[in-house]
Chain A
Amino acid sequence: GAVVSQHPSWVICKSGTSVKIECRSLDFQATTMFWYRQFPKQSLMLMATSNEGSKATYEQGVEKDKFLINHASLTLSTLTVTSAHPEDSSFYICSARTRLAGPIYEQYFGPGTRLTVT
């Protein structure tokens, strides 16, 4: 199946600093990538949709100036958490959409990045 990687897998940073998370589709081209956030024992909440070469679309309640998303190529999207605060501590998961045939797409997820802000 399609493989999506994330780097780093976990990161600890101090409050006020910025952290960049990379998401790569390893064996397919992804015109669309998604960023999710997951708190402990909760479901995945979509933060933003990233299309290659264009600005990301953010879900309601997600601060676009705080969570900067760049989708520079068909295999790479980055999420930068700016001026991180302890409440930003969470599990961040990216996914990439691939087209199977016609209007049928599937979504594959990365392994996630655990962010802890101290």
Chain B
Amino acid sequence: GQQLNQSPQSMFIQEGEDVSMNCTSSSIFNTWLWYKQDPGEGPVLLIALYKAGELTSNGRLTAQFGITRKDSFLNISASIPSDVGIYFCAGATSGTYKYIFGTGTRLKVLA
């Protein structure tokens, strides 16, 4: 199936640092969702974006819906050890309910 490209694939950061990751697509999407998945568990919804250019925050997390509608960004400020996990983006086109998932970004935080 189709997948979105996420970057970076993985990253190690020091506790307290800010983190940025992005998701790009060759197709235009009308909705972007960001999820976090811990090992052995299902993904948990972090942020949902519905409008191009939209910037939405959830605590230390901020996500943006790219102007071109072909990308989205997730930033985590002042990272903490519990931020460890896999972050997935997911996009859906207008008129469909099928979300396509990104390849994931594995985050490891060094205390």
Q: Which residues of A contact B (CB under 8 A)?
A: 1, 4, 6, 32, 34, 42-46, 49, 59-61, 91, 93, 95, 97, 104-112, 114
**Which A residues are in CB contact (< 8 Å) with B101?**
43-46
B97 touches A105 (CB 8 A): yes
Is the CB of B63 closer than 8 A to any CB of chain A?
no
A43-B104, A59-B1, A106-B33 given as contacts; is B97 within 8 A of A112 (CB)? Answer: no
Docked CA distance A116–B3 (Å): 26
Q: Which residues of B contact A (CB under 8 A)?
A: 1, 3, 31, 33, 35, 40-45, 48, 50, 88, 90, 97-104
A43-B102, A59-B1 given as contacts; is B42 within 8 A of A110 (CB)? Answer: yes
Expressed in whole angstroms, the minimum distance between the Cβ of B84 and any Cβ of chain A is: 15
- Per a CB cutoff under 8 Å, which of B41, B45, B88, B97 touches A44? B88
Other than A42-B104, A43-B104, A46-B98, give 7 A-B pairs with Cβ distance below 8 A. Answer: A43-B103, A46-B100, A49-B97, A91-B40, A93-B43, A105-B31, A112-B41
B97 touches A1 (CB 8 A): no
**Which B residues are in CB contact (< 8 Å) with A107?**
33, 45, 90, 99
**Which A residues are in CB contact (< 8 Å) with B97?**
32, 49, 97, 105
Q: Which of A43, A61, A105, A107 has the most CB of B within 10 A?
A: A43
Question: Which residue on A lies nearest to B99, using beta carbons?
Answer: A107
Docked CA distance A42–B104 (Å): 8
A43-B3, A43-B104, A105-B97 given as contacts; is B48 within 8 A of A112 (CB)? Answer: no
Expressed in whole angstroms, the minimum distance between the Cβ of A42 and any Cβ of chain B is: 8
A104 touches B98 (CB 8 A): no
B98 touches A49 (CB 8 A): yes
**Which A residues are in CB contact (< 8 Å) with B3?**
43
A93 touches B42 (CB 8 A): yes
A112 touches B40 (CB 8 A): yes
Docked CA distance A46–B3 (Å): 10
A49-B97, A59-B1 given as contacts; is B35 within 8 A of A109 (CB)? Answer: yes
A–B complex contacts, Cβ < 8 Å, 17 sampled: A43-B3, A43-B101, A43-B102, A44-B88, A45-B101, A49-B98, A60-B1, A91-B40, A95-B42, A105-B31, A107-B99, A109-B35, A109-B42, A109-B44, A111-B41, A111-B42, A112-B41
